[in-house]
Structure 1
Amino acid sequence: MSETIFGYAMVIFIILIVILTSKVHEYRHPKPKKKEKPIKPVISKDPVIDETPIKLNEDPRYKDFINAQWDEMNK
């Protein structure tokens, strides 16, 4: 009876040693973290034309300027 208890105790002791050594190894040699790729903004291939009406106090050349910038970006 005491031999079986001693056998079970040794098995538990060996399992604890294996777990402890694996935790120590993991602590000393951590896995490198994967770098997250930055999210790139999606630029439409089609030019965006602003269809909102021009206000009374707004310069009409402003919309032409914005649309020209979009055309340059999408070339």
Structure 2
Amino acid sequence: MKITVDRDRCVGAGMCAVTAGEVFEQHEEDGRVVLRMTAPPEQWADEVEEAEHLCPSRAITVDPAAR
């Protein structure tokens, strides 16, 4: 799985950090998404995909086939 984020699209809702805090966090100053790792372990796949679906601005893209 490979993850990309578009910080310019991010509105700082924080659902990603709440859902998959091992992979996403919010920047301290502007509240926008910070990607902690681009290729997390498969054990976090469900949480990462849920974070992608919960993102109101669609700033997160998950490619489950990429390695």
| TM-score between the two structures when normalised by the length of structure 1 | 0.24
The structure whose residues are more often strand, as a share, is: 2
- Larger-Rg structure: 1
The structure whose residues are more often helix, as a share, is: 1
Q: Which has the higher contact order (CA 8 A, sep 6+)?
A: 2
| TM-score between the two structures when normalised by the length of structure 2 | 0.26
